[in-house]
Amino acid sequence: MSFYVTTPIYYVNAEPHLGHAYTTIAADVMARHHRQRGEEVFFLTGTDEHGEPVADAAHALGVEPQQLADQNAERFKALAPLLGASNDFFIRTTDPQHMAGVQEVLARVRENGYVYEGTYEGWYCPRCADFKADNEIDEGNRCPIHHIELTREQEDNYFFSLASFQERLEQLYRERADFVSPRTRYNEALSFIRSGLRDVPLTRKRLAWGVPVPWDSEHVFYVWFDALLNYYTALGYAPVPQGLPAGTDLTATFWPASYHVIAKDILRFHAVYWPALLMAAELELPEHVFVHGYLLMEGEKMSKSLGNVLDPFAVIERFGADALRFYLLRDVPFGQDGSVSTASFELRYDSELANELGNLASRVIAMVHRYRRGFIPEATPDPVLRSDFGDLREEVSALIDRAELTQALDAIWQRVRRLNRYVEERAPWQLAKDVARAGELDCVLHSLVGGLRIVAILLLPYLPATMATLLGALRATPELAGARWDADGPPPGEPIARIDSLFPKTPEGSPA
Ligand SMILES: [Zn+2]
């Protein structure tokens, strides 16, 4: 089994913000979960570095575009480890191997008869690096995203004959109802296709900052085609991930991608242009495109260009990456738009991470030490809990297979709460007072450790640092196979370890 997940490559002109963090975190949860299943996993992220916006910004600063791209790519490269992301490679579209790959694939598209010369005229947004159709521009010929006035541009281009894929794209959507999800995004992409596809420019003539067109040195490829192809070209030169045999052919192992995780503003490129381009190049199509929503603050999309930024770095510095990862996937249903705020972050952190999970872990470990000198007692797990935990692993895997990351997290969290209720119901401190009930206490402690181990394994993709600490203390391994009642306990003679508070409470009255 292999699993290949990608984030979009992030445009180097932007400052890394919460939206980038959100996509990277979500893709990372999927990658980590599939690694726990023992699958071969490749997780790709990176930066998109060509196009007019970078060339213009470099010009304004009086530097070469490459120099600006180098500087800015570093900030995105640094973001991944800060978030606890386990990406296997970081691609830059200025990598010479990527550029050669783009030329190779697009030359094939031309040989296959899908490229022709023409003249394009339309409304162009330099910040989107995209032409806008007449029916998608705002009043006063403004970009609906950037609110700037668009310019009417005419340009000699090579065109990609997107329109010739009308039938095949409609067929794709008919045959594969899960090609794009959630359903609203599938419908949106399909209705765009049904409205009638028109050919799109593949190259640009007036721009020098891009991948040169091999058959015409006056042109570079349009930045979107260059960017989309990163998902394919990366496998041609990325180092082989740890755990796979040296010399593994990554393209043969991982193509086509299992999941492209994207935000809804780039839906059309991934749900329409991308499959058409792959068809034109005779390459296999990805299995799924999952489209997440926007994180909103006071009703506005969070974005650097609009101002109004919640700083993920400040959250990470104070509370750790795990807290940010948990909050974003817990508070906003993955796939929908939702509001985020520092106030709701603090509420989730204190009431759920610190109280419900952190206290549960400390309490269970402390009781095993107090009543059984740190050793997990031999006992049959409590059948009352067994039924609550029986199918949890399968339930979580099925949800993550559909990228329903918030629902999977909620399913796990219901069991965290179940374990807390169980502690209250069974009151081990009462059982401990009565020697005649030692067997009952053994059963309760054994069951609590078993339940804690299962939730810790399943939470590991969401909370990689803290759950690794907890699993280490419980002497448990992270593989998903261990997330079951009858899994082996720790090696005999090894006590479980005491740990510091996993989620220290916030000092009272301090804002996040
Ligand atoms: Zn725009």
For the segment 468-485, what is each residue's pLDDT rounded down to a tens digit? 999 999 999 999 999 998
What 3-state DSSP class applies to 204? strand
At residue 303, the pLDDT reads: 35
Question: What is the pLDDT averaged over residues 318-325?
Answer: 94
Q: Look at residue 300 in the predicted model and tell me its pLDDT.
A: 45
DSSP 235: G
- 77 catalytic per annotation: no
Residue at token pair 């520092």: 342
From ligand 1's centre to the CA of 149, what distance in Å? 9
Coil, strand, or helix at residue 232? helix
Distances in whole angstroms, Cα of residue 18 to Cα of each of 21, 46, 262, 294: 5, 16, 14, 10
Compute CA distances 261 → 27, 227, 290, 394, whole Å.
7, 15, 5, 23
443 is catalytic: no
The beta strand positions in 187-294, using DSSP E, are 200-201, 203-204, 220-221, 259-263, 288-292
Amino acid 354: pLDDT: 96
Whether 205 is catalytic is no
Place of tokens 């006056």: 218
DSSP string, 270-323: IIIIHHHHHHHTT-PPPSEEEEE--EEETTEEP-GGG-----HHHHHHHH-HHH
Could you confirm whether 304 is annotated as catalytic? yes
Each residue of 73-115: pLDDT tens digit? 999 999 999 999 999 999 999 999 999 999 999 999 999 999 9
Distance from C-alpha of 210 to C-alpha of 202, rounded to nearest angstrom: 12
pLDDT, averaged across the chain: 92
Q: How far is the CA of 406 from the centre of ligand 1 (A)?
A: 31
CA of 127 relative to ligand 1 center, distance in Å: 5
Which of these is catalytic: 128, 132, 288, 446?
128
pLDDT band at 310 (very low <50, low <70, confident <90, very high): low
Report the distance separating Cα 465 and Cα 449, nearest Å: 19
In this predicted structure, the answer to whether residue 487 has a pLDDT above a threshold of 90 is no
Report the separation in Å between the CA atom of 137 and the middle of ligand 1, taken as the mean of its atom positions.
10
Q: Which helix (H) or strand (E) holds 88?
A: none
How far is the C-alpha of 479 from the C-alpha of 495, rounded, in Å?
21
505 is catalytic: no
Mean pLDDT for the stretch of residues 108-137: 88
The pTM for the full model equals 0.93
Neighbours of 220 (CB within 10 A): 21
